[in-house]
Amino acid sequence: MKAIILSGGKGTRLRPLTYTGAKQLVPVANKPILWYGIESIVAAGITDIGIIISPETGEEVKAKTGDGDRFGAQITYILQDQPLGLAHAVKVAQPFLGDSPFVMYLGDNLVQSELDLFLDKFQANHLDALTLLCEVENPSAFGVAKVDAQGKVLQLIEKPSVPPSNLALVGVYLFSPAIHEAIAQIKPSARGELEITDAIQYLIDQQKNVDSFRLEGWWLDTGKKDDLLAANQIILDSCLDLTIEGEIDAPSKISGRAHIGSGSRILNSTIRGPVNIGKNCQIENCFIGPYTSIADESTLIDADIEHSVILKGAKVIGIHQRIVDSLVGERAQLKVAPQRPKALRFMIGDDSQIELI
């Protein structure tokens, strides 16, 4: 069994952050989204992983993720030179996949469920395709499955105006080598892409064995700011333990679960968890409220922040009004003079500077 993870795309919904970086490398709880998928796949016993990259962000993905040693995996990078659809990505990866069954995992997804049960069902029933499904409130925004009472997939529709169900395709699939023949037979959709839904529908029409697996836990597509903040909150709630590796002075107070990375200094500040603070950060005269992640080498002085994500090397200085629901890019600088409004919201790209006067 092999796996491919899709880590291309332009990330338009997370701009301006993704003008300068891959959306799959935006951190959730100070770890790139892509790495959660790799760890989940390795935990299921699959260690031969291909990562589909784009020309725009591929080198950054390779530099940060490496050859797989840190995950106990072997990673092969596969260039998809144009964004021509998910099925096209599988087509590009065919030399890597060979005749092996495989997992396809969208790299900007976070899924609570372990993949073992998904994999067990695929293997035990000798399936040609197994789709992971989740009930959603707005199925028109997703690929949607129509299934029978036993969960067998009858039809897949991409973003239907009249959905046949509220079961969305999560973005995790298992395929036998039969999917390659299906992809060879389909044509580009109206948006010019080879759709994986069309390829699975071809398998269904050819009476191949296509089934579904209902996700019971949470699923998050982190393609937008609010989704990423929600993912940060859930990960901090479910995975964070109290770990103090940095320096905390006597006037500072920490309550709840917090991770303080090595080399970080907390001076005259209040930390109310769950909060994740990376390495070599300076936090001085601050209130850091729940569901905040602050990446390595960031500086916050005279600031009040909660439910936000601060990326590596950012500086937030002199803001006494509370910052909430915000995403601040790498090396961005945010400074404020006196007499501010009561609350501020930001989405700030890498290397930005904002000064409110």
Query: What are the backbone angles phi and psi of residue 93, rounded to the nearest 5°?
Result: -85, -5
CA–CA distance, 93 with 88 (Å, rounded to integer)? 9
pLDDT along the chain (357 residues), means of 10: 86 49 82 92 96 92 95 97 93 97 91 85 95 88 86 86 88 96 94 92 94 82 78 88 92 95 97 96 97 97 94 91 88 74 67 63
Residue 138: half-sphere exposure toward Cβ, Cα within 13 Å: 1
Q: Can you give the pLDDT at residue 251? A: 96
Residue 17 is predicted with a pLDDT of: 52
pLDDT of residue 338: 59
Q: All domains of the chain, ordered by start, with CATH?
A: 2-231 (3.90.550.10), 240-356 (2.160.10.10)
Residue 129 contacts residue 177 (beta carbons within 8 Å): no
For 35, what's the count of Cα atoms within 13 Å in the CB-facing half-sphere? Answer: 19
Sign for the CA dihedral angle at 220, 224, 229, 230 comes to negative
The backbone torsions φ and ψ at residue 248, rounded to the nearest 5 degrees and listed phi first, read -125, 125
The helix (run of H) or strand (run of E) holding residue 318 is: strand 315-324
pLDDT of residue 253: 96
Residue 337, pLDDT score: 61
Q: Six-digit token pair at 180? A: 């390659």
For strand 258-260 and strand 275-277, is the pairing parallel, antiparallel, or unpaired? parallel
**pLDDT score at 178:** 97
- Supply the Cα-derived Rg of the chain in whole angstroms: 22
Residue 46's closest CA among 6, 25, 75, 89? Answer: 75
pLDDT score for 225: 78
What's the CA gap between 225 and 12, in Å, rounded? 11
**Residue 290 in contact with residue 256, Cβ under 8 Å?**
yes
**What are 27's two structure tokens?**
């951190």
pLDDT of 282 reads 98
**How far is it between the farthest Cα atoms of the chain?**
70
Residue that has been written with the tokens 């291909």 in this structure:
50
* CA–CA dist 169, 172 (Å, integer): 8
**How high is the pLDDT of residue 11?**
46
